[in-house]
Amino acid sequence: MAESEVTPVDGVAVEINGVEVIAHKGELLIDAAERTGTYIPRFCYHERMKPVGMCRMCLVEVDTGRGPALQPSCMIECTPGMKADTESAVTKKAQDGILEFLLANHPLDCPVCDKGGECPLQDQTMAYGPGESRFVEEKRHKEKPIPISDLVLLDRERCILCDRCTRFAKEVAGDPLIHFIHRGNNTEVNTFPDEPFASYFSGNTVQICPVGALTASTYRFKARPWDLETTESTCQTCSVGCRISIDSSRDQVQRFAGVDIDPVNWGWLCDKGRFSSQVVTSDARLSEPLVRDGSGLVAAKWSDALGRFASALDNASSAQSIGVIGGSRLTNEDAYAWSKLFKGVLATDNVDAQLGDGLPAHVVLGLPSATIDEVCAPGGTVLLLGPDVKEELPVLFLRLRHAAVEDRVTIVEVSPRSSGITSLAAASVHPRPGETADVVAALVGSSVIDREIAGVSAEELEQARAALSASTGPITVVLGRASLAESASITVAAASAILNARPDTTFLSALRRSNVRGALDMGLAPGLLPGRVTLEDGAEWYSEVWPATPSATGLDTEGILRAAADGRIDVLVLLGADPLSDFPDADLAERGLTGARTVLAVDTALNSSSKRADVVLAAAGFAEKTGTTTNIEGRVSTLSHRVTPP
């Protein structure tokens, strides 16, 4: 039986166009109709935001027992015995009239509008509109376009005041930076004078705008929708794993758009992820390998570069003299291949996909895990013990914000300083650096708190403890490194204290890098083999299928750089890593790269570290190869090949 035919347990019977359907209790008529195969046109309605009934395009005849009347289907819930007619003459006349009014001042610039070809106003005018206008007066003209930020352009002539962008900014992102201004016939959408639309999520307003009033500066006049080839993939900007669509034309990536996947991103993207499409076509991309000669890095043949790469590894004095940093930007399949090369052929365990900003592999893979949906489950309690999620994992912030505002989720924050989510937290405490574990132990403990701990007053601690104690079920912890100046052992100690006090606690690891979870699964961590098997437990089995296995647990990134600085690393391999810019201890990174006898790099573009390499291999990047990736909750999703590497 199809999903739309399954009778909900709490369903109500309604009649739509003479056919009885079963709607969910509390379901809006517009949703029930679409779920059962009847599309009702709309502009302002969006399934991820509260309905407002602004555009009136969804007017249909509804009879709730007192006779038929026109009602906005996005504002009325299904009730037993309700009858709706979406095809009556009255309904069609109302929709026809709404479109005529919307087009009274809307410019007829479809041939040059970026929305043309995928425009709901265009489509619905063809399907439900009058065909011609009775208005002969001159349309209004306004300056166009207005850059309301570096990324978003506003064309006020096209705006139909549907309230989508303003609702998203206020309700979803919590950044009410764009709103209605003026009154009556002069009402328009805009930002506060001289203030940019400085939201981390501004690109979503471009995607949900139904008329092309908001356009992206990076895509403007670049391609037409019918010229685009589209493939679904997974964003690799951070580790949340948002589903996206990749649109390309003429073998070039033109834009990314969010895809609504219920367990993860709900169709939203952060601007870092959405506009990272520009990286794929950057002029800085490497198109050929480079080798170092007397004058610096020069282009070389692939055979020569690969030969020097292999010779450097082959000439290393021992397996322990090879160090590998990076790998979190790889696909799972690539991560396994590199893991097998270094651990199964060269027998080195000095491999680490994390650059000193993550958690030990045994903690990430060994703690009881929670999904994003479980963290944001209505009525739950979340202990946020990690980085500023708005900065590091922006779409996870949107999910947590919705959970706190709409679903009664209690958030308790333990962080060295205020963050983007502090205003949403029921309690927020800021311990002194290095003493987070003491505060967490007090919060989950049973002893009376009668003194200040780690710079946090007893009153603040009691407030936070009360918020946690009010939970009727298990708490979930978003666990990560809030301060890279602190050792990861402090975060581990805090997690241990939570588990000892509340064994039913589950954890969502707030790791920054895109596929770090997949890299750990594939063994790109010291003491770990592919399949989440420790070196001690899996060496015997792997020795039967691999040519070799490491003889002892190796070094992490910090250890590799220290060994290199001391002259104990013959070959340092950088797999899409830039320690000089990305490792917390810049001085150690500098000494490590200077001390390594040979530096080999594999990357899509030159960075501060790969510029110091002896051999640089050009790699295919995002949208240029197929594979899979694993997000912070352990969800494996696909990566798609859309364009040819340079």
The two structure tokens encoding residue 94: 């109302």
Quick check: is 532 in a domain? Answer: yes
- Range 255-282 average pLDDT: 95
Distance in angstroms (rounded) separating the CA atoms of residues 165 and 167: 5
Domain that holds residue 96: 3-102
Cβ atoms 239, 512 nearer than 8 A: yes
Burial of residue 594, with CB atoms counted within 10 A of its CB: 0-12 exposed, 13-18 middle, 19 or more buried: exposed
359-385 pLDDT per residue, tens: 999 999 999 999 999 999 999 999 999
131-145 b/e (C-beta count within 10 Å ≥ 16 → b) = eeeeeeeeeeeeeeb
Could you check whether the bond before residue 145 is cis, i.e. omega within 30 degrees of 0? yes
The CATH number of the domain holding residue 46 is 3.10.20.740
Same domain as 139, residue 26 = no
Q: pLDDT at position 485, please?
A: 87
Quick check: is 422 in a domain? Answer: yes
A 10 A CB-CB count for 538 gives 17
Quick check: is 21 in a domain? Answer: yes
Same domain as 340, residue 367 = no
Instruction: Please write down the HEC assignment for all residues of 453-468.
Output: ECCECHHHHHHHHHHH
How many angstroms separate the Cα of 58 from the Cα of each of 33, 80, 429, 635? 11, 21, 47, 37
Same domain as 159, residue 35 = no
Phi, psi angles (nearest 5°) of residue 415: -150, 150
Same domain as 146, residue 79 = no
Q: Does the pLDDT of residue 2 top 50, yes or no?
A: no
pLDDT-derived band at 1 (thresholds 50, 70, 90) equals very low
Phi-psi region of 332 (alpha: psi -120 to 50; beta: other; left: phi over 0): alpha
Distance in angstroms (rounded) separating the CA atoms of residues 572 and 384: 36
Amino acid at 19: V
Domain boundary among 509, 536, 560: 509
User: In terms of Cα–Cα distance, which of 436, 443, 524 is closest to 482?
Assistant: 436
**Average pLDDT value over all residues in the chain:** 94
Lowest pLDDT segment from 291-295, 543-547, 640-644: 291-295
The CATH number of the domain holding residue 464 is 3.40.228.10
DSSP-assigned letter for residue 369: B
Same domain as 119, residue 211 = yes
How many angstroms separate the Cα of 177 from the Cα of each of 155, 167, 209? 17, 11, 16
Q: How far from chain centre, in Å, is Cα 137? A: 47
pLDDT-derived band at 6 (thresholds 50, 70, 90) equals low
What one-character-per-residue DSSP string does 59-94 give? EEEEESSS-EEEEETTT-B--TT-EEESSSHHHHHH
- The angle, 0 to 180 degrees and rounded to 10, between the axes of the packed helices 120-128 and 89-102 is 140
Tokens 């001690």 belong to: 536
Q: Does the pLDDT of residue 276 top 50, yes or no?
A: yes
Q: pLDDT at position 77, please?
A: 95
Q: How many domains does the structure of the chain reveal? A: 4
Q: pLDDT at position 294, please?
A: 82
Same domain as 161, residue 89 = no
Provide the CB-side half-sphere exposure for 472 (13 A, CA): 5
Q: pLDDT at position 194, please?
A: 83
Burial of residue 278, with CB atoms counted within 10 A of its CB: 0-12 exposed, 13-18 middle, 19 or more buried: exposed
Distance in angstroms (rounded) separating the CA atoms of residues 74 and 465: 41
Domain boundary among 165, 197, 216: 216
Cβ atoms 164, 48 nearer than 8 A: no
Amino acid at 318: S
Cβ atoms 170, 164 nearer than 8 A: no
Tokens 């033109």 belong to: 254
Quick check: is 246 in a domain? Answer: no
67-107 pLDDT per residue, tens: 999 999 999 999 999 999 999 999 999 999 999 999 999 99
Distance in angstroms (rounded) separating the CA atoms of residues 402 and 609: 40
User: In terms of Cα–Cα distance, which of 232, 253, 395, 236 is closest to 327?
Assistant: 236
Quick check: is 223 in a domain? Answer: no
Q: Does the pLDDT of residue 7 top 60, yes or no?
A: no
Distance in angstroms (rounded) separating the CA atoms of residues 194 and 170: 19
Same domain as 416, residue 302 = no
299-351 pLDDT per residue, tens: 999 999 999 999 999 999 999 999 999 999 999 999 999 999 999 999 999 99
456-479 pLDDT per residue, tens: 999 999 999 999 998 888 899 999
Quick check: is 448 in a domain? Answer: yes
- Range 558-577 average pLDDT: 97
Distance in angstroms (rounded) separating the CA atoms of residues 559 and 563: 6
Distance in angstroms (rounded) separating the CA atoms of residues 415 and 483: 8
pLDDT-derived band at 3 (thresholds 50, 70, 90) equals very low
Quick check: is 565 in a domain? Answer: yes
The C-alpha angle 439, 440, 446, rounded to 5 degrees, equals 95
Lowest pLDDT segment from 127-131, 400-404, 422-426: 127-131
Same domain as 117, residue 76 = no
Q: Does the pLDDT of residue 615 top 70, yes or no?
A: yes
Q: Does the pLDDT of residue 355 top 70, yes or no?
A: yes
The CATH number of the domain holding residue 134 is 3.30.70.20
Q: Does the pLDDT of residue 160 top 50, yes or no?
A: yes
- Range 417-426 average pLDDT: 94
Same domain as 505, residue 365 = yes
Q: pLDDT at position 238, please?
A: 94
Domain boundary among 177, 198, 216: 216
Q: pLDDT at position 127, please?
A: 93
Q: pLDDT at position 520, please?
A: 96
Tokens 């690969």 belong to: 306
| Helix (DSSP H) and strand (DSSP E) numbers for the chain | 21, 29
The CATH number of the domain holding residue 570 is 3.40.50.740
Same domain as 93, residue 194 = no
Distance in angstroms (rounded) separating the CA atoms of residues 71 and 88: 13
199-230 pLDDT per residue, tens: 999 999 999 999 999 999 999 999 999 999 99
Quick check: is 547 in a domain? Answer: yes
Same domain as 391, residue 339 = no
Same domain as 295, residue 371 = no
Cβ atoms 117, 224 nearer than 8 A: yes
Q: How far from chain centre, in Å, is Cα 576? A: 20
- Range 21-43 average pLDDT: 95
